[in-house]
């Protein structure tokens, strides 16, 4: 049985945001300031260009900042890439690895995702490791097989509850407005929990499992109430403070 863990609501800004966007973080911080102890941890993962800027805005407030990707190596001739150590130096506390858009657009394999997660650990970052099936895989009844394979290949052997968050994102639901039923989500999250417990023992009972896929204020309460859903990985709805707050409020 999964341990009781504090939820995490993480916003993935993807390739959106400029310095003026910090006003949304300021607005969110004001909303959070009314709570002496938020019922969930709050994280924003902006483009790398904004990590330091938003870290300054969030300083002393109830918002953590993270990166959206990192290279497996610490440094070297990798033009355009950013290491986990650079993100840490910029003020990040987390980094997303293995997002479906990275897997699809950049051909990232489970092996690459695992190496990036290990880089996150090396730098002292929490790795949010993403798994999820495509529409074709879902229609073929392969969802759980795909998820188990990705978990096995993407999570390092040294993963712990303090260093690792798993995010389930049905690829077919991201940005489409389509959302699995609560029963669908419960089935997948239960399978993820079982796989984590089998492989990591007690640590697997405490790892946070986030749901990501068209999470909105209108469906957040229902989704966040599903067993083994320990928070959300939010895309577009995290760009505006009011929308993001609507999701965070599912834990009010």
* Burial status of residue 34 (CB atoms within 10 A of its CB: 0-12, 13-18, 19 or more): exposed
| 118 among known catalytic residues | no
Tell me which residue range forms the domain holding 123: 7-251
Which pLDDT tens digits describe the chain residue by residue (252 residues)? 566 899 999 999 999 999 999 999 999 999 998 765 678 999 999 999 999 999 999 998 899 999 999 999 999 999 999 999 999 999 999 999 999 999 999 999 999 999 999 999 999 999 999 999 999 999 999 999 999 999 999 999 999 999 999 999 999 988 787 878 999 999 999 999 999 999 999 999 999 999 998 899 999 999 999 999 999 999 999 999 999 999 999 997
Say how many C-beta atoms besides its own lie within 10 A of residue 64's C-beta.
19
> Among all chains, which residue has been given the structure tokens 């895989």?
137
| 197 among known catalytic residues | no
Tell me the C-alpha to C-alpha distance, in Å, between residue 100 and each of 53, 67, 130.
26, 15, 7
Instruction: For residue 55, give the H/E element and its range.
Output: helix 51-58
Query: What pTM does this model have?
Result: 0.96
Distance CA 83, CA 72 (A): 7
CB 208 within 8 A of CB 3: no
User: Which CATH number is 57's domain given?
Assistant: 3.20.20.70
Out of 24, 108, 169, 203, the active site residue is 169
User: DSSP characters for 180-202?
Assistant: --HHHHHHHHHHHHHHHHHHHTH
* Cα–Cα–Cα angle for 102, 160, 236, rounded to 5 degrees: 35
Residues paired with residue 231 on neighbouring β-strands, in sequence order: 8
In a domain, 1, yes or no: no
In a domain, 102, yes or no: yes
Tally of structural domains, the chain: 1
In a domain, 2, yes or no: no
Out of 71, 85, 99, 133, the active site residue is 99
């Amino acid at each position: 049985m999964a341990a009781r863990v504090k939820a995490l609501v993480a916003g993935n800004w993807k390739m959106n945001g400029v310095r003026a966007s910090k006003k949304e973080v300021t607005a969110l911080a004001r909303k959070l300031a009314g709570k002496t102890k938020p019922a969930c941890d709050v994280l924003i993962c902006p483009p790398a260009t904004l990590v330091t800027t938003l870290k300054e805005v969030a300083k002393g407030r109830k918002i953590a900042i993270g990166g959206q990707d990192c290279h497996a190596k610490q440094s070297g001739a990798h033009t355009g890439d950013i290491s986990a150590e650079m993100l840490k130096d910029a003020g990040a506390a987390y980094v997303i690895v293995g997002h479906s858009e990275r897997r699809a657009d950049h051909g990232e394999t489970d092996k690459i995702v695992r190496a990036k997660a290990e880089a996150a650990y090396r730098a002292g970052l929490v790795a949010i490791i993403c798994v999820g099936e495509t529409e074709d895989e879902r229609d073929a009844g392969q969802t759980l097989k795909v998820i188990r394979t990705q978990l096995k290949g993407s999570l390092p052997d040294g993963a712990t509850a303090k260093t690792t968050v798993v995010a389930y994102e049905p690829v077919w639901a991201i940005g489409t407005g389509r959302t699995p039923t609560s029963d669908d989500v419960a089935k997948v999250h239960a399978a993820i929990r079982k796989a984590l417990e089998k492989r990591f023992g007690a640590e697997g009972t405490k790892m946070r499992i986030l749901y990501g896929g068209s999470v909105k204020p209108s469906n957040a309460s229902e989704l966040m109430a599903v067993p083994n859903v320990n928070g959300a990985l939010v895309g577009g709805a995290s760009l505006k403070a009011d929308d993001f707050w609507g999701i965070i409020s599912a834990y009010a």
